[in-house]
Amino acid sequence: MGTFLEGEIFLLVVGFFIKLKMLNPYLSLVFAMAGAFLHEIIYFFLGRWKGREILLRNRHTRKEYRRAKKLLEKYGILSIFIIRFLYGMRMIPMMLMGATGFGTGKFVFFNLISLFFWAVIYLSVGYFFGKAAEHFFGEAKEYYFIAVAVIIFALFLILIYPRLVERFRKE
């Protein structure tokens, strides 16, 4: 569910729990990829159905549509790999790929490859956060949940808070 909604932060936390041996790394990888894939395939088929109409409906998505379209025109199928690491750019490019007629098989194949690298990288970063927390806190496991809360709060401040402030200023 976490990667379906907000992948990067969730994967960092899961990686942390993998380090604590509270989660299985292989199952975590599979479920992380499955959640993100489900999210993206829904938007891909939504794009096939009414993508252009939906994307051009309001000012914000129109701007993101143009940005994503330039990326797709410039890099083609490789844009799936680029989009994967651009925070906040998952929905619109997936809809655009559906709307512009990307082949479903081609999309699924390259999307799964990019999802694998994305999940491994973020899970690894979370794992190393856990390793650093273990080094910092030693064997005091009761502090791990505090460390996770601090990491989540810090990531929220860095990644989400500026977007919220920008959105409220525009409205």
CA 77, chain centre distance (Å)? 18
| Least trusted range by pLDDT, from 91-95, 115-119, 144-148 | 144-148
Half-sphere exposure of 83 (CA within 13 A, CB side): 31
**Residue whose C-alpha is closest to residue 41's, from 84, 100, 104, 86:** 104
Q: Say which residues have a Cβ less than 8 Å from residue 89's Cβ, sequence separation at least 6.
A: 64, 67, 68, 83
Q: Is the pLDDT of residue 20 over 60?
A: yes
Please check the confidence at residue 121 and state whether its pLDDT lies above 60: yes
Could you tell me the pTM of the whole model? 0.68
Q: What pLDDT sits at residue 109?
A: 93
The domain total for the chain is 1
Query: Three-state SS for 14?
Result: helix
In whole angstroms, what is the distance from residue 114 CA to residue 33 CA? Answer: 10
Residue-number span of the structural domain to which 146 is assigned: 2-170
Would you state the pLDDT for residue 100? Answer: 77
Over the stretch 63-93, which tens digit does the pLDDT of each residue have? 777 777 787 788 877 878 877 777 666 677 7
How many CB atoms lie under 10 A from the CB of residue 138?
A: 9
